[in-house]
Copies of this chain bind each other. A is one copy, B any other.
Amino acid sequence: MSANNAVRVTVWNEYRHEKTNATVAGIYPNGIHGAIAAFLEKSGAIARTATLDEPEHGLTEQVLADTDVLTWWGHAAHSEVSDEIVDRVQKRVLEGMGLIVLHSGHFSKIFRKMMGTTCALRWREAHERERVWLVDPTHPIAAGVDPHFTIEHSEMYGEHFDIPAPDELVFVSWYEGGEVFRGGCCFKRGLGRIFYFSPGHEVYPIYHHPQVQQIITNAVQWASFRGNPAVKPFYNAMVAPLETIAPKDYQSEKIQHPGR
């Protein structure tokens, strides 16, 4: 966190559709990242942005070291994200950085790496209505959110969604065309917290929706909690016993533990 406890967010965006598609550019003149950063700043966070085509995708070691929460939007160019940067982000999440994965980010390298599954789903782009239902009202990400709200035009994301069962399921979406989707899911990994949130197709003004902004703002706050850094599970060397162990006549032949 920063000196005044404001959360330091880095808003990452693929930032391609905005340059090539007039509809997207019209909705997000400053890019999707610009829109997200703007409402997060209003909530009191310190937001910077980073995009695919910057050197190191804008995610240098220093940027990540100064980031409490990273939000991720990508779609058509997942494969252009370098594996080295993905490993760097994963390491930081396991050390306690929050990660908010948005919409088509479900297929990003970083999300699939953190989940261990395909993260595949059903989908359809048909300009249809989505309704987001709150199923865990005790969750901080649900604070101030309506029990249900409507996104008039949305891309459908439907089950089965191939993820591990989330540690906490917060939102489930309904679609006009007949599907449901576990669209708001929390995961804890290492010392970090991850939230996946499905709304956010680029050709609709979804990140201008007040309820969507509330949820992402809440999620950033929630994910900024860094796990207890005193817990250092990885040891290259044997630990001493805490209790006295009964004397034994045994001597194991030494075998080096390989670490990882």
Q: Which of B116, B126, B156, B191 contacts A114 (CB 8 A)?
A: B116
* A48 close to chain B: CB less than 8 A: no
Q: Do A138 and B188 have beta carbons less than 8 Å apart? A: yes
- Chain B hits for A112, CB < 8 A: 260
Copies in the complex: 4
Which B residues touch A240, using CB under 8 A? 124
Q: CB within 8 Å of B: which of A71-97?
A: 75-79, 90, 94
| Cross-chain contact A260 with B147 (CB below 8 angstroms) | no
Q: Tell me whether A260 and B107 are in contact in the complex, defined as CB-CB below 8 angstroms, given that A164-B189, A178-B243, A225-B140 are known contacts.
A: yes
Cβ proximity bits A35-79 to B, threshold 8 Å, 1 near / 0 not: 000000000000000000000000000000000000000011111
**Cβ contacts A124-151/B at 8 Å (1 or 0 each):** 1111110101111111101111111010
Q: Is A160 an interface residue (CB 8 A)?
A: yes
Q: What are 27 A-B pairs with beta-carbon distances under 8 A? A: A22-B253, A76-B255, A79-B258, A114-B116, A116-B116, A121-B234, A121-B235, A122-B239, A124-B240, A126-B245, A127-B252, A134-B228, A137-B228, A138-B227, A138-B228, A143-B228, A147-B228, A147-B231, A148-B242, A158-B239, A162-B190, A162-B234, A165-B169, A169-B169, A173-B180, A177-B242, A178-B241
